[in-house]
Amino acid sequence: MNRRELLHTLAGAPLITLPGFARSQGPRSLSPAPAALAAAGETALPVWAYDASVPGPVLRYRRGDWLDIDLNNQLPEATTVHWHGIRLPNAMDGVPHLTQAPIEPGARFRYRFKLPDSGTYWYHPHLGAAEQLERGLAGALVVEDDSPPPVDQDIVWLLDDWRLDAQGRIAEDFYRFHDVAHAGRLGQRLTVNGALRPELALRTGQRVRLRLVNAANARLFALQPEPGINAWLIARDGMPAPQAVPWDAPLLIGPGMRADVVVDAVRAGRFAIRQFNGREAEALATLVVGGADDTAPRPAPVPSPYTPPPEPMLAGAVLHTMRLGGGARSREGWPADTPEARAARQQRRAAGAREADPVWTINGQAHVGDHHGHHPPAFRVPQGRSVRIAFENPTAWWHPMHLHGHHFKVLSRNGEPLTEAAWRDTVLLAPGDRAEVAFVADNPGRWLIHCHVLEHHAGGMGTHFEVMA
């Protein structure tokens, strides 16, 4: 295979997804399985795929529909599916050993729940996620509102990166110690829906909604359009903004996070959506606009109406501090940086272990791998009680902290209250950041909290809390 371009081979899903909705007519089958994707004349690239497609099929519903998926596991190992960002029953959350048993090879599991929230979400495994996602298992979940902003096209862009070896195949160095202890696994090829630097053809006067999903293990996307188009941010993590915000500066989208933008093609030309890596920028995708120049600009879009989650009562809420720790360059020490840990690591590697080392902590505890149900919860709270969490990041690395089963309101950053507290399911912490969030614990069960840099989670940065009915 030609390594210069991954990547025609990964075009298992079209770049443009036409609007359509999967109505509740009984279960829809979804099968994760090994697949071999290739372009004509090139060596097949082994991947793992949902329904032989990388990314997996876009699942489209309307708010209030029932998602009904019969998962048929055709992988050589166990898996689960996590429906990322959706408020759902605990038994449907897809976290192994915490909310469900792993789905063994050849077994099936039915995911069925009502969709209470419109927005852009996604699905992926939560068992061995750092490896299974990297092999190709990810897809978008779109839940439409009854009155979305009118657009000419509604398009999902699933963003990812791929680490290839010298033969152009997915590098098998999963859980490499350097990756786990630093920024996570970063690939050298950046793709949109599996394609390398795709082009989207538009006509002047068209309005397009781009649903951006960061499905990469660890990469922080910082995206900005070139001048010449009008663009607005209208939603983050599936939740509409109070009003459209001009997209004229780099938009940070951490692993697991989403952003919805509306783009107006106002004049003809080629306009790149650029990814910033430090001081450099590269074209991630290009909008190719044809037609007459100087189309009269449209007014800013109006985000979808939104019924927010219950407002937390801050006065009576107990504050739970979650201090992140570990990793390379740590001033506080880290669990894997001892002679005993290094010796144990060498022994596990010699035995062919497929797991990360205990590099990261939350409040001094490293919960390695996928066995959170074996540990006590970080806290318990009665159903309906308001909860405050202060995330502290004294480490040298970025951490997108994701909370399952609930949406939370981000109240402050680094001691500064936010003028308009935003609803999210993930909060992105830069080195040195402190962010306080709050929510009503109205969804009973045991819920995961973890860093969505998947190597960090695998290396210990995860815990859970329990909402008691």
Coil, strand or helix: which one is 19?
coil
The pLDDT-based confidence of 14 (bands split at 50, 70, 90) is very low
Which range (10-19, 112-121, 334-343) has the least confidence?
10-19
What tokens were used for 278? 């430090």
37 in Cβ contact with 49 (< 8 Å):
yes
What CATH number labels 7-149? 2.60.40.420
What CATH number labels 314-468? 2.60.40.420
Using alpha carbons, select from 422, 18, 429, 434 the residue that is nearest to residue 238: 422
Say what the pLDDT of residue 239 is: 93
Say what the pLDDT of residue 8 is: 46
310 in Cβ contact with 440 (< 8 Å):
yes
Higher pLDDT, 247 or 6: 247
Say what the pLDDT of residue 154 is: 97
Mean pLDDT of 385-412: 97
For the stretch 446-468, pLDDT in tens is 999 999 999 999 999 999 999 99
7-149 and 314-468, same CATH topology: yes
pLDDT at 56 over 70: yes
* DSSP helix, strand, coil percent of the chain (3-state; round to 5): 10, 45, 50
**Chain centroid offset of residue 178 CA:** 22
Backbone torsions φ then ψ of 287, nearest 5 degrees: -90, 120
The pLDDT-based confidence of 22 (bands split at 50, 70, 90) is very low
* Domain assignments of the chain as residue spans, ordered by start: 7-149, 314-468
155 in Cβ contact with 127 (< 8 Å):
no
Q: What's the N-to-C CA distance of the chain in angstroms?
A: 54
Using alpha carbons, select from 248, 244, 273 the residue that is nearest to residue 260: 244
Quote the Cα angle for 14-59-119, to 5°: 105
Beta strands in 237-384 (DSSP E): 239-246, 251-253, 258-264, 269-277, 280-290, 318-326, 360-362, 380-382
Which range (81-85, 129-133, 181-185, 365-369) has the least confidence?
365-369
251 bridge partner residues: 223
CA distance 428 to 258: 12
Say what the pLDDT of residue 38 is: 66
pLDDT at 13 over 60: no
Which range (77-86, 111-120, 335-344) has the least confidence?
335-344
State the Cα torsion 228-7-56-143 to the nearest 10°: 0
The pLDDT-based confidence of 1 (bands split at 50, 70, 90) is very low
What average pLDDT does the structure give for the chain? 90
CA distance 458 to 356: 6
Write the DSSP symbol of residue 298: P
CA distance 380 to 375: 13
pLDDT at 23 over 60: no
The pLDDT-based confidence of 7 (bands split at 50, 70, 90) is very low
Higher pLDDT, 368 or 143: 143
Instruction: Give the predicted TM-score (pTM) of the model.
Output: 0.93
Higher pLDDT, 14 or 450: 450
